[in-house]
Amino acid sequence: MGFKEQPKGFATKAIHVGQDPEQWNSACVIPPITMSTNFKQDAPGQNRGYIYSRGGNPTRNVLQQCMAALDNARYGLVFSSGLGATTAVLTMLSRGDHIVMGDDVYGGTNRLIRQVATRLGLTATFVDATNLESFRAAFKPETKLVWLESPTNPLLKVGDIKALVQISRESCKDVIVAVDNTFLTSYFQRPLELGADLVCYSLTKYMNGHTDVVMGGITMNCDKLYDRLKFLQNSLGIVPSPFDCYQVNRSLKTLSLRMEQHQANALKVAKFLESHDFVEKVLHPGLPSHPQHQLALAQTYGYSGVFSFYIKGDLPQSSAFLKALKLFSLAESLGGYESLAELPSIMTHASVPAEDRKALGISDALIRLSVGLEDAEDLIDDIKNALDVAAKV
């Protein structure tokens, strides 16, 4: 049994939706970069759809249309970063509102909730979303938002999105369910089809895929949520530049090709690591050894290039491994064409409280890889050599 079969038409939508040359006077095939900050009006209060570039921009709209289509969504909005998108969602809430959060989330999201949102009067309960009873017990009468990652970062836990949405609806009628889909992209998972209200992205990662843009995005079907978030996009001013929108729009054209290669390379690397004597455990939803492997097969169309593993030993061994790598760069982030490696306990998830890291299993032996588009055999050789070095420490 494999992952769900990808319906036809994804690559065609990525190339054509929002890109019609007839929308431009020049009929240019590639949408132009509209850098103007303001737009001439025909008369006071009479405009041609654009007034000021923070509120709307032709290049940004092209990207938003294309991004929405890839999630089979009615609407898409882009923001200055992934955390900017998260901030927009949080600012829909009011003082006293409660959030149910997955316990294993991106470190920046954890920091935003614990150190910013709580100071503004929001409360949050962090819970293991793979435990449905614990998840149900986390709800309160004042719960207004559920924030999920599936798979999670960095432990790659897979939650049953349909079941989590159902519990959320049963627990709080008007709750908003948001799923951070950064790891899988709309190519491998489409949470709106599983019942979610919002799908959130760090477009910086796989959706752009070239490690040269910081941007976030949200897709949705609900008119009211779109109106609220569109208002906040403009009112908070957390918009990306037209040039960055042009680059991400370009990158979506090759998303399906890139994700297929990321998947193939990462699975080869993961299988090699699982067979190595100096590796304690590999966390990759595409491997039968993963505790939610069957759920991943049933819920998604495949898997990307980011996964984690435990090296034998502790900080001396993980540090030696990371320093010995030649093709993998020791750097934060993920999803670019180049391969990266990092130590979440000290890098991406250092802001997570130490006791929480310990409880979750984010130890100094946990290494996260973002497998790029290089030749898989070269990447495996690089890892093998680094493991040999680490084993001698």
Domain spans of the chain?
A: 10-251, 255-391
Whether residue 3 has pLDDT greater than 70: yes
Read off the pLDDT of residues 64-86 as tens digits, 9 standing for 90 and up.
Answer: 999 999 999 999 999 999 999 99
Distance between CA atoms of residues 251 and 315, nearest Å: 37
Report the candidate in 264, 177, 182 with the shortest Cα–Cα distance to residue 215: 182
Report the candidate in 117, 123, 118 with the shortest Cα–Cα distance to residue 144: 123
Read off the pLDDT of residues 183-210 as tens digits, 9 standing for 90 and up.
Answer: 999 999 999 999 999 999 999 999 999 9
Distance between CA atoms of residues 112 and 354, nearest Å: 16
The residue assigned the tokens 């690559």 is 11
Average pLDDT over residues 221-234: 98
Q: Which are the catalytic amino acids?
A: 54, 106, 180, 205
Distance between CA atoms of residues 369 and 306, nearest Å: 6
pLDDT at 88: 98
Q: What is the dihedral of CA 104, 108, 109, 111, to 10 degrees?
A: 90
Contact 241, 351 (CB under 8 A): no
Whether residue 98 has pLDDT greater than 70: yes
As beta bridge partners, residue 281 has 310
E-state strands within the chain: 75-79, 98-102, 123-127, 143-149, 176-180, 198-202, 216-220, 279-283, 306-311, 329-330, 340-342, 366-370
pLDDT at 137: 98
Report helix, strand or coil for 332: coil
For the chain, give the mean pLDDT: 97
Whether residue 211 has pLDDT greater than 80: yes
User: What is the DSSP annotation of 96-121?
Assistant: T-EEEEESS--HHHHHIIIIIIGGGT
Contact 27, 21 (CB under 8 A): yes
Distance between CA atoms of residues 203 and 181, nearest Å: 10
Distance between CA atoms of residues 172 and 170, nearest Å: 6
pLDDT at 179: 98
Average pLDDT over residues 39-45: 96
Out of 3.50.30.30, 3.90.1150.10, 3.40.50.920, 3.40.190.10, the CATH code matching 255-391 is 3.90.1150.10
pLDDT at 96: 98
Distance between CA atoms of residues 114 and 127, nearest Å: 14
Read off the pLDDT of residues 265-317 as tens digits, 9 standing for 90 and up.
Answer: 999 999 999 999 999 999 999 999 999 999 999 999 999 999 999 999 999 99
Angle at CA 114, nearest 5°, toward 108 and 116? 85
Whether residue 1 has pLDDT greater than 80: no
The residue assigned the tokens 């180049």 is 338
Angle at CA 267, nearest 5°, toward 265 and 271? 120
Distance between CA atoms of residues 378 and 362, nearest Å: 28
Distance between CA atoms of residues 7 and 186, nearest Å: 12
pLDDT at 138: 98
Read off the pLDDT of residues 148-181 as tens digits, 9 standing for 90 and up.
Answer: 999 999 999 999 999 999 999 999 989 999 999 9
The residue assigned the tokens 């092209």 is 62
Read off the pLDDT of residues 319-376 as tens digits, 9 standing for 90 and up.
Answer: 999 999 999 999 999 999 999 999 999 999 998 999 999 999 999 999 999 999 999 9
Distance between CA atoms of residues 220 and 228, nearest Å: 12
pLDDT above 70: percentage of residues in the chain:
100
Q: What is the dihedral of CA 250, 255, 257, 260, to 10 degrees?
A: 160
What's the CATH architecture for 10-251? 3-Layer(aba) Sandwich (3.40)
